[in-house]
Structure 1
Amino acid sequence: MKVEQIYTGCLAQGAYYIVSENEAAIIDPLREVKPYLDRLEKDNVTLKYIFETHFHADFVSGHLDLSKKTGAPVVYGPTAQPEFDAIIAEDNQIFEIGKIKIKALHTPGHTMESTTYLLIDENGIETAIFTGDTLFLGDVGRPDLAQKATNLTQEDLAGILYDSLQNKIMPLDDSVTVYPAHGAGSACGKNMQKETVDLLGNQKRTNYALNQPDKESFVREVLDGLTAPPKYFGMNVAMNKGGYESLDIVMDKGLTPVSVDDFEAYAEETGALILDTRSPAEFYKGFIPNSINIGLKGDFAPWVGTLIVDVKHPLLLIVDEGTEEEAITRLSRVGFDNVLGYLKGGFEAWKDGGKEIDEVKRISPSEFAEQFTENSKVIDVRKLTEYSAEHIDNAFNKPLDTISDWVKSIDDSEHFFLHCAGGYRSMIAASILNSHGIRNFTEIEGGFNGIKKTEKFPTSDFVCQSKTV
């Protein structure tokens, strides 16, 4: 028997590849299925089942493409109603793969179809659980996402999740290994550990959600501090439930090099958003007017999903040479399939073509220290929890994920300084502000981390972030 966790850090997502004898199973595959097909070919095994723990909200699963390419059926837990052929497992139903068994444990709460898969090895020993978004390391799945689909409140769903954990997970032996669908950085929970595998016994001892004295306390603690989910979550659920275009077609369309003149014309004719995936260090020096910078070397896909309202909106890309396929793949993971192409020759081709260029004013933390006065206005775009932990005295907290709510209230006649933690998010904010015609600001390179190192700014007292939302 072999169990392999295939972890994608930029999405904080874990898929699982399980082999016994000449058969295999895959749990919660990502959109691009080639890594799984390569493993199947290398091991000379047949894919027997594709297990889905639930209808995912934070990424588009590869279940449909993988099923079409291998012939393996997709399996969901009880109450799931996909709009395509699938096996809907009964609670406690057993699936055999080689000499091992996988038992479906219905664990609703995060969503009503959420199911944990229990691995029983060749000797009949309950060895591992693949918990999806029911149980994370250090946390549990947020119970507020399925309210519209179920006509239940988040309190109702949290209570159902409590029952699932108490009745299905807690009775299992402490030696059982926990394989969750996500780790730290995912928006599907608020207190996840950086580790991606643990023993259930350790989670019973350390996970705050598993140590509440009663259901009422559990509901209160799990719901405390939840922020609004990213806007793309609902659209990803719809794609996972209803189907989507093959990634092969998406890639063929997106990997179209577009000349400078055609790029300019396409943007005007289609209303496409120009998405510049270069690093902040390159973007600020020069960019196409009204383009949005979300750097590929960062939490690229989640921020795209958070800030671009419609997954169907047409996109035109600015990429560093050689990163075209990576950019389109990562966009497809969160459902952004409508990429019309990328600028041939990159930004340098645009610049060499004599086209209009915009810039962001960026300064170092030491330069900021020289320019800062007691009357300076500072906007901090970090999360509220980061800001609450420590910030520049009198700085205003305007989190990046809510920029669509506050951008129109910015006074374009008053200069302000803009920063995040390290410069990635503040450059995203800078590009959005520029696209709204707001230019009366200066962005701080290196963010609060760099600012703090200067030791020249009064800051609030540090408060430990016990739960990161």
Structure 2
Amino acid sequence: MHFAQYYLDCLSQASYLIGDQNTGRAVLVDPRRDIDEYLADAEAAGLRIELVIETHIHADFLSGHLEAARATGAEIAFGAAAETGFPIRRLRDGERIFLGRSGSDPQPRPGAQSGSESGTEPGAESGAEPGAESGAESGAASGTESGSDPAPRSGVTLTVLATPGHTLESICLVIRENPDDDVPFGVLTGDTLFIGDVGRPDLLSAAGHSPQDMAARLYRSLHTKLLALPDATRIFPAHGAGSACGRSISTETSSTLGDQRRLNYALQPMPQDAFVRLVTAEQPATPGYFAHDVALNRDGHPLRDPAPPAPLTLDEALTARDTQGAALLDCRPAADYARAHLAGSLHTSLDTRFAEYAGSVVAPGTPLVLLAASGKEHEARLRLARIGYDRVLGHLPDPAGVLAAAPELTRRSNRLGMADLLDRLPLDPVDGLQVIDVRNPAEYAAGALPGARNIPLAALADRLDELDPARPVILYCRSGNRSLIAAALLEAHGFTDVSDISGGYTDPANPA
């Protein structure tokens, strides 16, 4: 068996390539949009990607199922409950996908995968993607069980488990190196089960499904499906630490079911109602782009254009801002941005969770002009494309030189130390100071400055009307990254007296 996990730290996202080395058949699971790495690895291993499987309709990134299907000719598959705007194969609960050989299969191994992302048609519409909707199993390209072939099967086999809870169409994939293995090699758990956590059940609340209803479904999926597998079964989730799809996901990218049964707080023995209360409390705020990505992943989207962003002059950038509503997005390190930046520009550094934070402060569909360190503009565009932010008009080469040549357009961030803030506390309503904690609710609940209000960064753009732009604002987070991003957002919306804590929050009662 060929098994490869691809973990993308900047989005805490995992995708998988699984193949049978005897037949060359392979499936690609939860791919990102930049697919060349998968294609190169498949070709090197002599594998042909015949099926692209999504464990669910993702919210936190724009998946590469359309790009992969166009490049390989593979079918696209989702759980049977999925509703999409393009043809799919529907995978039913209990269905088996055979990548190995039956007794009637010819012995020669199929050829390797060919094609690359650069051979796709940038901007092509998703309606033309390959793949046919099928509610029945077939013995076609994927080797899916048909029931009509009595010949014995051997080799890599995937079994579909319908596991609603995070979303209605969520599935997990149990992997066996041979169909009759008692202990599976592992299980791809998507966003149903993470290492140290479970998938959040509240992302569908706006679509008529309450978090409590989805949490109850998740409880049943965990206890009737996943926890029925042997303890030695390895777990490979779709996300790791830092993802907003869970509350306290581990930094580990794999585990075993036995370890999770012992260590995962959400898998401890408890009745369903207790589980529902537990997993619906203190979930992190969801970035504004999540609903946008759900729609694109469900309905279809143009293929990614891999071309680098075009260089622009300062005058062209300002004209785009004034006539097209473009946002100036400064992608440089925090220290460089704080030292000097264009007035009204937004900020999120490539050194942090760049795409997620950009999707928190920039509305989907907004045209963008990038200010990135020399040679970093292509990376910035790629990472934005991974969340479906494709409207990049261009970039300003040599931002430092541009700023030096236009001092009248340049601003400096007002960054304070923790001691500076403590000098202005205890808070007195008379002085009008607004202290805002932009961390997530669980971080805030664990300890915060007296009198500080919690408005998570992911929610700030939608809650600006709760703040008074005529009064001073001080923002803080854990390290100073999110607070600087928040300060830039406020300044871009006309707040004139904005500061943030450069080193992040330190509990005054326990400075160590």
Using the size of structure 1 for normalisation, the TM-score is 0.89
Give the corresponding residue for 2:114: none
> Structure 1 residues 352 and 397, CA, compared in 2 at 3 Å: closer, same or farther?
same
RMSD: 2.3
Shift in Å at residue 168 of structure 1? 1.2
Secondary structure class of the residue paired with 2:410:
coil
Give the corresponding residue for 2:460: 403
Give the corresponding residue for 2:326: 272
Which structure 2 residues correspond to residues 435-454 of structure 1 after superposition, within 5 A?
435-449=492-506
Distance 2:232 2:461 in 1: 47
1:341-389 Cα distance to aligned partner (Å, 9 max, x none): 11123242243256621221224456x2796565684443323332332
CA contact (8 A) 1:257 1:344 kept: yes
Give the corresponding residue for 1:186: 243
CA contact (8 A) 1:391 1:460 kept: no
Shift in Å at residue 154 of structure 1? 2.1
Task: Output the amino acid matched with 2:459.
Answer: T
Shift in Å at residue 269 of structure 1? 1.5
CA contact (8 A) 2:287 2:459 kept: no
1:406-459 Cα distance to aligned partner (Å, 9 max, x none): 53444455545432221111111111121122232333321225xx6xxxxx44
Task: Output the amino acid matched with 1:17.
Answer: L
Distance 1:307 1:348 in 2: 26
Counterpart selection for 2:265 from 204, 208, 216: 208
Shift in Å at residue 236 of structure 1? 0.7
Residue 138 (structure 1) aligned with residue 196 (structure 2) = yes
Residue 422 (structure 1) aligned with residue 469 (structure 2) = no
Distance 1:107 1:193 in 2: 21
CA contact (8 A) 1:48 1:73 kept: yes
Secondary structure class of the residue paired with 1:179:
strand
1:43-98 Cα distance to aligned partner (Å, 9 max, x none): 22211221110111111100110110011111111121222122111221111223
1:207-248 Cα distance to aligned partner (Å, 9 max, x none): 222224222222121212235532221211111111111112
Distance 1:382 1:278 in 2: 22
Residue 345 (structure 1) aligned with residue 406 (structure 2) = no
Give the corresponding residue for 1:238: 295
Using the size of structure 2 for normalisation, the TM-score is 0.82
Distance 2:225 2:352 in 1: 37
Shift in Å at residue 272 of structure 1? 0.5
Distance 1:231 1:307 in 2: 8
Give the corresponding residue for 1:15: 15
Secondary structure class of the residue paired with 1:274:
strand
Shift in Å at residue 133 of structure 1? 0.8
Secondary structure class of the residue paired with 2:340:
coil
1:244-273 Cα distance to aligned partner (Å, 9 max, x none): 11112xx33x61111222122222111111
Give the corresponding residue for 1:465: none
Secondary structure class of the residue paired with 1:247:
coil
Give the corresponding residue for 1:357: 410
Give the corresponding residue for 2:134: none
Distance 1:331 1:422 in 2: 23
Shift in Å at residue 190 of structure 1? 1.1
Identity %: 35
The number of aligned residues is 449
Secondary structure class of the residue paired with 1:91:
coil
Give the corresponding residue for 1:40: 42
Residue 321 (structure 1) aligned with residue 323 (structure 2) = no
> Structure 1 residues 341 and 461, CA, compared in 2 at 3 Å: closer, same or farther?
closer
Distance 2:427 2:76 in 1: 60
Give the corresponding residue for 1:49: 51
Distance 1:264 1:371 in 2: 39
Task: Output the amino acid matched with 1:271.
Answer: G
Task: Output the amino acid matched with 1:96.
Answer: F
Distance 1:412 1:148 in 2: 30
Counterpart selection for 1:225 from 282, 293, 308: 282
Unpaired runs of 5+ residues, structure 1, are 453-457, 463-469
Residue 108 (structure 1) aligned with residue 164 (structure 2) = yes
Segment of structure 1 superposing worse, 173-182 or 349-358 = 349-358
Distance 1:370 1:154 in 2: 39
Distance 1:364 1:161 in 2: 44
CA contact (8 A) 2:215 2:279 kept: yes
Distance 1:327 1:410 in 2: 31
Distance 1:354 1:285 in 2: 12
Task: Output the amino acid matched with 2:174.
Answer: L
Give the corresponding residue for 2:145: none
Task: Output the amino acid matched with 2:170.
Answer: S
Distance 2:97 2:45 in 1: 21
Task: Output the amino acid matched with 1:233.
Answer: F
Which structure 2 residues correspond to residues 296-315 of structure 1 after superposition, within 5 A?
296-309=350-363, 311-315=364-368
CA contact (8 A) 1:393 1:460 kept: no
CA contact (8 A) 1:392 1:459 kept: no
